[in-house]
């Protein structure tokens, strides 16, 4: 299911990565699938749809409500808020650099950005539309969208498939390269402080890069178990194991507590942390990862060095001009 077994197996075979091979800079362009080449027209349309709250049942929630492109790509809430003030059980993952994820959502249930874009719109807690047929009907009722869909996909092109392709095309432009880390790896040895370099070396020494490797620091595979080490004291405080992760989707007990490995890019901006948003600070998250994933009691100095390094993963955010959405002159959207 979802090619999950192969991905988990591949992840399990990964051992600690050497310093020489671990450090990769972030690409400035994301690969696109063969059936959805990135074009300017798709990106323009996708940006509109991404920011349009009329894709929700109440007209109050858009993709950007939970994945804010004016900051860290999420909403800095423990649990995201959808229509009618409802909240889900998970913290919104960042949209920045999501094009480099192997799978999407914390439980990996979507294999692509296109598949991910389709889900929240009809989720009763998130955007609350009853069906994609209703979404398409609403888009068709907004006269101005016809032009943008035609420019991107041709005539009579308003459909679920094309809407999600456009949103995914826009999301593939949300890349944050040229962080201090990237500049350091590219040869500018002044880009990181001495403390950040110590943190970088400690990350490799501890084996953090076994999972958080590659240019996006999100690993070669899709999933990792969290927590690895059972600890009743921390579980009583943070309830990490209440969420079964991938098993919530697959219904396979062997998949319990498997989660998508999140990117460490821009992590300094995306508090609170972990799938349930239960940890409010980055230093506490680092300490807990040491205990629960690696069985290590990090010193305050080691934790501070790692946090300093993680701050060096904040990249340059592309300048964006917020879209002017097609209006419905003289009437409401419904």
Residue 334: the pLDDT is: 62
Q: Which residues pair with 260 in a beta bridge?
A: 223
Cβ-based burial of 332 (10 A; exposed 0-12, middle 13-18, buried ≥19): exposed
Same fold for the domain at 4-26+177-311 and the one at 40-171? yes
pLDDT at 179 over 90: yes
pLDDT at 17 over 50: no
Dihedral sign computed on CA atoms, order 114, 120, 122, 127? negative
Active site residue 114: no
Whose structure tokens read 């402080």? 193
Q: What is the pLDDT of residues 257-279, one digit of tens each?
A: 999 999 999 999 999 999 999 99
pLDDT at 30 over 90: yes
> CB–CB of 92/74 below 8 Å?
yes
Q: Which CATH number fits domain 4-26+177-311: 3.30.160.270, 1.10.760.10, 3.50.50.60, 3.40.50.2300?
A: 1.10.760.10
Residue 22: the pLDDT is: 67
Distance, CA of 288 to CA of 297 (rounded, Å): 9
Give the model's confidence band at 332: pLDDT under 50 very low, under 70 low, under 90 confident, else very high: confident
Give the domain ranges of the chain.
Answer: 4-26+177-311, 40-171
pLDDT at 195 over 70: yes
Q: What is the pLDDT of residues 117-143, one digit of tens each?
A: 999 999 999 999 999 999 999 999 999
Q: Give 172's contacts (C-beta < 8 A, 6+ positions apart).
A: 30, 32, 38, 99, 113
Residue 13: the pLDDT is: 37
Which residue is catalytic, options 44, 74, 114, 126? 126
> CB–CB of 99/113 below 8 Å?
yes
pTM above 0.85, yes or no: yes
CATH classification code of 40-171? 1.10.760.10
For the chain, the average pLDDT equals 93
């Amino acid at each position: 299911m979802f090619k999950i077994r192969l991905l988990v197996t591949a992840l399990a075979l990964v051992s600690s990565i050497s310093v020489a091979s671990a450090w990769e800079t972030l690409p400035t362009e994301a690969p696109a699938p063969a059936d959805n080449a990135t074009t300017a027209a798709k990106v323009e349309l996708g940006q509109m749809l991404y920011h349009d709250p009329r894709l929700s049942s109440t007209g109050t929630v858009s993709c950007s409500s939970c994945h804010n492109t004016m900051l860290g790509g999420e909403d800095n809430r423990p649990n995201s808020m959808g229509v009618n003030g409802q909240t889900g059980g998970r913290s919104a993952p960042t949209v920045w650099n999501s094009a480099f994820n192997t799978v999407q959502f914390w439980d990996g249930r979507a294999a692509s950005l296109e598949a991910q874009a389709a889900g929240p719109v009809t989720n009763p807690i998130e955007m609350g539309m009853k069906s994609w047929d209703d979404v398409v009907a609403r888009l068709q009722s907004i006269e101005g969208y016809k032009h943008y869909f035609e420019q991107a996909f041709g005539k009579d092109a308003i459909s679920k498939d094309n809407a999600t392709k456009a949103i995914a095309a826009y999301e593939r432009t949300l890349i944050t390269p040229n962080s201090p880390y990237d500049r350091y790896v590219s040869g500018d040895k002044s880009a990181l402080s001495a403390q950040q370099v110590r943190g970088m070396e400690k990350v490799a020494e501890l084996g953090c890069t076994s999972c958080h490797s590659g240019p996006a620091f999100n690993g070669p595979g899709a999933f990792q178990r969290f927590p690895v080490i059972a600890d009743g004291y921390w579980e009583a405080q943070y309830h990490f194991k209440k969420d079964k992760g991938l098993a919530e989707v697959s219904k396979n007990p062997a998949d319990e507590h498997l989660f998508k490995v999140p990117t460490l890019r821009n992590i300094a901006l995306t508090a609170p942390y972990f799938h349930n948003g239960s940890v409010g600070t980055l230093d506490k998250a680092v300490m807990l990862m040491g205990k629960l994933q690696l069985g290590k009691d990090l010193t305050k100095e080691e934790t501070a060095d790692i946090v300093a390094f993680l701050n060096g993963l904040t990249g340059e955010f592309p300048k964006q001009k917020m879209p002017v959405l097609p209006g419905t002159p003289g009437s409401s959207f419904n």
